[in-house]
Amino acid sequence: MPPSPYTRTRLTEAASSSRTMSEALTRLGVDTSHFTPRVRTARMRMNRNRRSAEEILVLTDEAHARRTPSSLLKRAMVDLGREESCALCGCGTVWRGRPLPLEVDHVNGDWSDNRRENLRLLYPNCHAVTPTWCRGGARRRTP
């Protein structure tokens, strides 16, 4: 039996300088293309339960409503052509060379009203000064 090309030292170096198993195997020269069939990988990428933008952006019955995650609302808005920039100041998704997370704001303050016309993307500083920020619509109204 020929000696193994993988010494303990070589394995330790590959593992310690890698963040993932795949990266370690690549450093060792191990071919991983046969590990997962391409058909299964392609099928896994296509989520059959993924809700369409039209299914997400609706007014829900408050009695049975659950809060829709902002990531879903944001994806649905972008899928329908909404520009990824602040509706108030126009800032995009990058500020000073760093990613800028935009927040979803419900214009009327009702978290169960996910209709397209009631949602907007706001820069966090702009969102903080709106009357609907952090569910403050009811307590911040001025007489």
Residue 57 sits in the same domain as residue 76: yes
* pLDDT tens-digit map of 9-28: 988 999 999 998 889 999 99
In a domain, 78, yes or no: yes
Residue 38 sits in the same domain as residue 61: no
d(CA 133, CA 104): 10
Residue 66 sits in the same domain as residue 82: yes
* pLDDT tens-digit map of 25-60: 999 998 887 776 666 555 566 666 778 888 889 888
In a domain, 30, yes or no: yes
d(CA 115, CA 81): 14
d(CA 97, CA 90): 16
In a domain, 143, yes or no: no
Residue 32 sits in the same domain as residue 64: no
Residue 41 sits in the same domain as residue 58: no
Residue whose pair of structure tokens reads 């397209």 in the numeric block: 116
Residue 74 sits in the same domain as residue 130: yes
Residue 67 sits in the same domain as residue 121: yes
**Count of domains in the chain?**
2
* pLDDT tens-digit map of 46-97: 666 778 888 889 888 877 778 889 999 999 999 999 999 999 998 888 888 8
d(CA 51, CA 76): 9
Q: Provide the terminal-to-terminal Cα distance of the chain, rounded to the nearest Å.
A: 88
Mapped onto helix, strand or coil, the DSSP state of residue 86 is: coil
Distance, C-alpha 141 to centroid of its chain? 32
d(CA 60, CA 67): 10
In a domain, 142, yes or no: no
Adjacent-strand bridge partners of 103: 122
Predicted structure pTM score:
0.59
In a domain, 100, yes or no: yes
Residue 34 sits in the same domain as residue 71: no
In a domain, 125, yes or no: yes
Residues of the domain holding 12: 8-45
